Amino acid sequence: MVMSMGEMYSYVGSTVATLMFINAIIQQYFPFHIRGYIERYGQKFVSTLHPYVKITFDEFTGERMKRSEAFSAIRNYLSAKSSAHVKRLKADVVKDGQSLVLSMDNNEEVTDEFEGVKVWWTSRKIVPEKQFSLPWYPASDGKKYYSLTCHKRDRKLITESYISHVLKEGDAIAARNRQRKLYTNNPSENWYGYKRTKWTHVVFEHPSTFETLAMETKKKEEIMKDLIKFSKGKQYYSRIGKAWKRGYLLYGPPGTGKSSMIAAIANFLNYDVYDLELTTVKDNTDLRRLLIETSSKSVIVIEDIDCSLDLTGQREKKEEKDEEEEEGKDPVRKKDKEEKKQSKVTLSGLLNCVDGLWSACGEERIIVFTTNYVEKLDPALIRRGRMDKHIEMSYCSFEAFKVLAKNYLYIDTHPLYEEIHKLLEETNMTPADVAENLMPKSEEDDEDTCLKALIEALVAAKEEARKKVEEEARLKAEKEEKGKEEAQLKLEKKEEDKEESPKENGEVH
C-alpha cells in the first residue's frame, strides 16, 4: 500500500516529535555519564545509516593565531566552481580592476566531480548565540569553515588525491589573480570583534625599480644578485639550518632614497610589503602575533627604527629631566611621548622576532630596517646575521645624477654634465633635492633650463656649506679662546691665593 503525500508528512512529523520527546527525557532524567554513552552509541548507529564522510577546514589554526593556507586555497578553488551554480556570491576586483572574482557566500553549497566521484562543498559561518558586546569591545564575527562531504567508499581517493588537487589548483588560481599589497598594522586595541584583523592593506602600486633608482650601477647589481640568490635559496637555507629570511639595513640622511629602495626590492622580487609601525604595538606578544600573520614572499619594513622605540638605552636622567621641562611647555610633544610609552615592545622581544625562534614562523621574507642615524642603534640589533646586508644610502653621486637626468629629462649626456660632475664632488646634495631641481616646472622648461637650475642649487648649497664650515670654525675658535681665558683666570686666581696664604700665616704668628 502506497502512502499519500499527506500521510508521509504526518508519519515523518510524528517520528520527529517522538525522537524529540525521547531526547528531552534523556537530557532531563539520565545522569551525565550515561547520556555520554547514549550519544556516543547513538552517533555510531546513525553513521551506519548515513554513508557519508564530512571533512572540515577551519579558517584559523593554532588557537586563531594564523590563517589556514588550506582555507585560502579552497576558497580560490571554489570561486571558479561556484560562480555558475550558487545563488549568493561575494565579488572582489583584482588585477588593476580588470578582473572580477566571484566566490560563494556563507551557507551556500556547490557540487564538484573528480575522477567520476561526486563531492559537496559547503561554506559555513557560525556566530555564537550569546556574546558579550560593548562599543569598545565588539562581539566576535564568528567562525568560518568549509565542509567537504563525500561517500565512505570514496574516502581514500578524496583524502589521498582530491584534496591535494584542490590545494594545488587553488594556489595556481591565487597566483594568476594575485595583486601585490601594501599592509599596515592596526593598533592592538582594534583586534577584536569586527575589527579583529591585525593588518589592513591597499594595492601596492609604487613604480620604483632598480632601473630608476638613483644609485651607482655596480652597487645596484650587487644588491640584485643578492636578492636573486636569496629568492632561490630555499634548499640552501634548509641545508645550513637557518630560517629562510634575510635582513637589510638601509641607513643614510633623509632624502637619499631609502623608501624607493624598499619599493624597488618589492617590485624586483614581486613581494608584498608589510609596513610595521612599532609604536602602535602593545607588547612583545602582540608583535609576535603580527609577524605570524605575515605571508611568505614579503618585505617586512620598520622605518626610522631609531625613532620608533627607545632601543638604545643611552638616555641619561639629566636628559630626561630636561625633556620633561620642555614637554611641560609643549603639550603636543607630551602627548606623543605618552602614546609611545603605551608600547611595551622591548629590544629583546624585537630581536626574538627578527632572529629568534619566532623568526622561523614563515619563510621567504626580507626584513628591512631604515634609519637616519645608524650610530644610535644598539649593536645587537644590527649585527651580521640579523641585518645581513648594510646598505649606505649616500648623497647624490654623478652616476646617480645621470640616472635621474635620464628619468626626468630623457637625456644621456649634455655639455653641462662636466660642470655638474665637479660640483657634485664638492657638494653634498641628496638625490631627492637633485630630482626636484631636474623636474620641469612648466611646459617651457627644457633640459638646459633644468640643468642650469640644478647648477644654481649646487652652487648655493656649496656656498652655504662653506659658510657653515666657517661659522663652525669661528665658534670653535671662540670657544677655545674663551677656554684659554678661563684657564688663565683660574691660574692667576690660584697664584693670588698662594701669595695671600703666607701673609695670613705671618699675621697669625
Of 45-59, 249-263, 276-290, 330-344, which one has max mean pLDDT? 249-263
When the pLDDT of each residue in the chain is averaged and rounded to a whole number, the result is 82
Contact (Cβ atoms closer than 8 angstroms) between residue 285 and residue 321: no
User: Residue 313: pLDDT band by 50, 70, 90 thresholds?
Assistant: very low
> What residues contact 452, with CB distance under 8 A and at least 6 apart?
416
pLDDT at res. 474: 87
Is pLDDT above 70 for 306?
A: yes
Give bridge partners of residue 99 from the DSSP assignment.
Answer: 94
- Opening angle at CA 66, ends 259 and 136, nearest 5: 85
- The tens digit of pLDDT for each residue in 15-30 reads 767 767 777 777 776 7
pLDDT at res. 90: 74
Contact (Cβ atoms closer than 8 angstroms) between residue 316 and residue 376: no
pLDDT at res. 152: 87
Is pLDDT above 80 for 2?
A: no
Instruction: Give me the residue label for grid cell 590563517.
Output: 67
pLDDT at res. 317: 41
pLDDT at res. 225: 97
- CA dist 157 and 276 (Å) reads 44
- CA dist 254 and 395 (Å) reads 10
pLDDT at res. 49: 62
User: Residue 398: pLDDT band by 50, 70, 90 thresholds?
Assistant: very high
Contact (Cβ atoms closer than 8 angstroms) between residue 247 and residue 430: no
User: Residue 276: pLDDT band by 50, 70, 90 thresholds?
Assistant: very high
User: CB-based burial of residue 308 (10 Å sphere; 0-12 exposed, 13-18 middle, 19+ buried)?
Assistant: buried
Q: What percent of the chain has pLDDT over 70?
A: 75
Is pLDDT above 90 for 195?
A: no
pLDDT at res. 79: 83
The Cα-based distances of 45 to 42, 50, 154, 190, 426 in angstroms read 5, 9, 21, 47, 90
- CA dist 396 and 392 (Å) reads 12
Quick one: average pLDDT of 425-430? 93
Is pLDDT above 50 for 316?
A: no
Is pLDDT above 90 for 136?
A: no
- CA dist 55 and 145 (Å) reads 10
For residue 1, what is the DSSP state? -
pLDDT at res. 433: 95
Contact (Cβ atoms closer than 8 angstroms) between residue 133 and residue 144: no
- The tens digit of pLDDT for each residue in 318-365 reads 445 555 555 555 655 555 555 555 668 888 888 888 888 878 877 899
Quick one: average pLDDT of 120-141? 66
Give bridge partners of residue 92 from the DSSP assignment.
Answer: 101
Per DSSP, the three-state class of 77 is helix
- The tens digit of pLDDT for each residue in 60-96 reads 775 555 678 888 899 888 887 776 666 677 777 665 5
The Cα-based distances of 434 to 136, 157, 407 in angstroms read 49, 65, 12
- CA dist 472 and 240 (Å) reads 52
pLDDT at res. 240: 92
Contact (Cβ atoms closer than 8 angstroms) between residue 138 and residue 192: yes
User: Residue 268: pLDDT band by 50, 70, 90 thresholds?
Assistant: very high
- CA dist 401 and 418 (Å) reads 12
- CA dist 15 and 13 (Å) reads 5
Q: Is the pTM of this model over 0.85?
A: no
Instruction: Give me the residue label for grid cell 563531492.
Output: 119
Question: What's the grid cell of residue 325?
Answer: 621641562
Quick one: average pLDDT of 49-54? 79
User: Residue 315: pLDDT band by 50, 70, 90 thresholds?
Assistant: very low
Contact (Cβ atoms closer than 8 angstroms) between residue 227 and residue 271: no
Question: What's the grid cell of residue 86?
Answer: 550558487
- The tens digit of pLDDT for each residue in 441-487 reads 999 899 999 999 999 999 999 999 899 888 888 888 888 888 888 88
The DSSP secondary structure of 384-452, one letter per residue, reads TTTS-EEEE--SPPHHHHHHHHHHHH--S--TTHHHHHHHHHH----HHHHHHHHS-SSTT--HHHHHH
CB atoms inside a 10 Å sphere around CB 108: 19
Is pLDDT above 60 for 500?
A: yes
